[in-house]
Amino acid sequence: MKKFNEINIVKEGNSKSKIVTYVLLSLVALFTILILLYFFLPKKNNSSSSEQRQRVNAITVRATETVPGTIEKSVILNGEILARNQVTIFPTVGGRLVELRAGIGDRVGRGDIVAMVDPSRPGEVYSRSPVVSTVSGTVLNMPFHIGDTVTNQSGVLIVGDLSSLLVETFVPERFVASVRQGMRAFLWFEAIPGETFNAEVFEVNPVIDPVTRTLRIRLRFLNSDARIKAGMFASINLVTNRKTNIPVIPRSSVINTYGSWIVFVVDENNIARRREVTLGIDNEDFVEIIEGVSLGEKVVSAGQNFLSDGDPVRLAD
C-alpha cells in the first residue's frame, strides 16, 4: 500500500513538472511575440501616421512643367506714319502768294507749277514768279494761304510719295543699346481695331537728340494696307530681344530673396525642394532659366510664398 502511494506521488510530481514546463514555454513564447510586436508594429504605425499627418498638413499649390519656349522682350512706343519720300517745295523769290494751283491730296508731277508769287514792291512792279514742284507725288500739306507773304525759305507745299509709307518714332535713351537695323516690330492703330501690322527698322539715326534724350528710328511696313494713311498715329511694340527653344517658366514662379533668385520644385513624392536659379531674358509673363531647373521638372507657380524646403504639397488641378 505504501509503495502504491509512492508511485502515485511520483506520477503527480511528473504531471506538475510537465505543467510547469508547459506554462514556462507558453510564457516564453508570449514574451517573444510581445517583443516582436513592440519592435515591428509600432514603427509601421508611426510611419503610417506620419504619412497621414503629411497629407493633412500639405500645402495646396499650382505647379507648371518647365518646357522649351520662346521669349520676346519689347518696348512700347508711339509713332507717326509719314510718306517715305517727302519733300518741301520752296519759291525762288520772296513776295506775296497770289495763286495756288494744287490742293491737299492732289497729285502733282515733277516740273509742275504749283503756285505763283508776286515779288512786286510798292512803286515797283515785277512779273509773277512760279513755284515749281521738284518731285512727283501727292500734296500732303499747305501751310500758307493766298495773300500770305513768303520768302525763299518758306515751304509753300509739302509733296510726298504715298505709295510707300514709313513709321517714325523716337526710342528713349535707356533702350538705344538694343536698337539695330532689321529689328521687328508690331503696329496697331485706333482707326483699325483688332488688327496688327508687321514692320522692321530700316533707318537708325546715329546721334541721340540732346534735348529729348531720344533716338530717332524709322520703320518700313512688311505688309502694306491701303487703310493706313500718312499722318496716322501708331502704337509700336518694338522687339528688342528674342530667344527660341529655351527653358521657360512663369515669371510668377520666381522669388527674390536677399539678392538671389529661387524657385520651388515638386519632386516625385510631392515634396517641395528649394532651388537657387540663374535667370536669363524675361518679359511680363515668362522668364528664361539658365541654371537650377531642368526641362520637365515641375516648378511651383502659385502658393510658393508659403513654402519651405521639404514641405509636403498637394497639386491643384
Domain 59-71+244-315 has CATH 2.40.420.20: yes
Give pLDDT, residue 50. 47
* Cell output for 122: 510798292
- Point out which residues pair with 89 in neighbouring strands: 157
Instruction: Please give the pLDDT value at position 41.
Output: 57
Exposure string (b/e) for 275-299, b if CB count within 10 Å is 16 or more? bebebebeeeebbbbeebbeeebbb
- CA–CA distance, 101 with 116 (Å, rounded to integer): 8
Task: For residue range 221-275, list pLDDT tens digits in order.
Answer: 998 788 998 889 999 999 888 888 889 999 888 988 888 899 999 988 889 999 9
CA separation for the pair 17, 129 (Å, rounded): 150
Q: Where are the domains of the chain?
A: 1-53, 59-71+244-315, 75-82+162-243, 87-160
3-class state of residue 217 by DSSP: strand
Query: What is the rounded end-to-end Cα distance, in angstroms, of the chain?
Result: 93
Residue 68's H or E segment, with its range, is: strand 67-83
Output the DSSP codes for 163-184: TSEEEEEEEEGGGGGG--TT-E
Query: Could you say which of 2.60.120.680, 2.40.420.20, 2.40.30.170, 2.70.150.10 is the CATH number of the domain covering 75-82+162-243?
Result: 2.40.30.170
Parallel, antiparallel or unpaired: strands 313-315 and 59-65: parallel
d(CA 162, CA 200): 18
State the CATH class of domain 87-160.
Answer: mainly beta
Q: Which helix (H) or strand (E) holds 225?
A: none
Residues β-bridged to residue 170: 216
Q: In angstroms, rounded to a whole number, what is the distance separating the alpha carbons of residues 315 and 247?
A: 22
C-alpha cell at 302: 502659385
pLDDT tier for residue 56 given thresholds of 50, 70 and 90:
low
pLDDT tens figures, 1-24: 544 445 454 455 566 667 767 777
- The DSSP secondary-structure symbol of 271 reads B
Distance of CA 302 to the CA centre of its chain: 18
